[in-house]
A = this chain, B = another copy of it.
Amino acid sequence: MNNRSTVGIGIVGGGYMGKAHAVAMAAVGAVFDTGLRPTLEVICTTTEAGATAKARAFGFKRATADWRNLVDDETVGAVIIATPADSHREIAERAIQLGKPVFCEKPLAATLEDARAMTAAAEKAGIINMTGFNYIRTPATQLAREMIEAGEIGELTAFRGEHTEDFYASPDEPATWRAQGRANGAMGDLAPHMVNAALTLAGPIESLVADIATIIGQRPGRENTSDLQPVHNDDFGQFICRFENGARGQLMFSRVAHGRKMGYIYEITGTKGALRFNQEDQNSLWFYDAGLPAARNGFRQILTGPEHPDYVNFCLGPGHGTGYQDQIIIEARDFLQAIETGGDLFPTFRDGLAVSEVLEAAYVSSDEGRWVGIREVRSQQAGGKE
């Protein structure tokens, strides 16, 4: 009965995101009735035993501890990369070389150079490529994008965004791998999603001035010990910016923001209204429509429902709510659809690269204590690295 076209999926990485993609691929067909159906072929994790266990748990046919086996596997028609950032480029490039569609988790790469190389390679090869900015797929945020594009809040004037969490807020948390490496800092780990939101919702950034800091400079070497070790990366970053359309921006990223669990928050103002969103209440978009009479006006809580993007496939009733996993299912739908039709996709590696450019500008700005233009970063990198 299911004589549909199928595509074999290989997932590199069996952790948090690897599992999320496995679940999404198991569910997406039933949710969206996609034309192309995925089959779970191979999963790769760091050990054979681990991979085998994950394959069994998630329903993959085969397991491997060598990502090359997975990418090269003939049954694997599309590759999902859900590994640490510094491994993305190598894996993606091999898949691209083999002409296989690639979905890569955010951040696209550990360095701007890698992101540029991956984007160039994928575009040159003309293969389907996608970056894992899942929060931009929350129905409420898709709705925000639609409303902005339709001019419902007028010309944008200001964007405030933050991605704040508190998993490292206690000074008693030990100096693990989290305290090592720029990619594991607040800017590397938390900023990409919200910078993607800023670029998607408010458009390209022209210039910015940033301050990136290590607020908790020392942490215990291990839990419940008193020897303090230095923290080698940032736990807080912020910048103010100007968008190309003239709107002003203010962004903050922190992994030491006590009380914030998933503080992916934006507030967007235009000449005709405003929008507010907080991922901690992901099923509400707050809308101020300046066109209503002042004495009856105020922000209103639009609860997402079947009239809003992608919601109806999860539930027919408004306010019943979608969750984190559903965003990954929406990504899976788009990835499969693009593979099937060859059509446009969002967000691509290019969108991931745009985020990397902004982050690079922020690092430079903070190091040098000055405003930095995104074009400057773009041209310098192009000049310096190629």
Q: Show the binding face of A for B, using Cβ within 8 Å.
A: 1-2, 4, 16, 19-20, 22-23, 26-27, 29-31, 33, 37, 52, 55-63, 152-153, 157-158, 160, 162, 165-167, 169-171, 209-211, 213, 215-216, 236, 238-240, 242, 246-248, 250, 252, 254, 256-263, 269-274, 276, 279-284, 287-290, 294-303, 305, 307-308, 314-326, 369-371
List of B residues within 8 angstroms of A323 by Cβ: 283, 314-315, 320-326
* Pairwise interchain contact B326-A1, C-beta atoms closer than 8 A: no
Q: Which of B256, B272, B300, B371 contacts A269 (CB 8 A)?
A: B256
Partner of A211, one of B242, B302, B318: B242
- Would you call B324 and A314 a contact (CB within 8 A)? yes
Contact across chains for B238 and A171 when beta carbons are under 8 A apart: no
Closest Cβ of chain B: how far from A298's Cβ, in Å? 4
Instruction: Please give, as numbers and ranges, the residues of chain B lying within 8 Å of A213 by CB-CB distance.
Output: 248
**CB atoms of A250 and B238 under 8 A apart:** yes
* Contact yes or no, A252 B254, CB < 8 A: no
Complex formed: what's the CA distance from A297 to B256 in Å? 16
Closest beta carbon of chain B to A144's beta carbon, Å:
12
CA gap between A16 and B313 in the complex, in Å? 10
Q: List 9 A-B contacts (CB under 8 A).
A: A29-B58, A29-B59, A158-B215, A158-B236, A167-B317, A238-B250, A250-B250, A284-B298, A314-B324
Report the nearest B residue to A316, measured CB to CB.
B16
* Cβ-closest 7 pairs across A and B: A261-B319, A259-B288, A323-B323, A300-B300, A262-B319, A295-B307, A27-B27
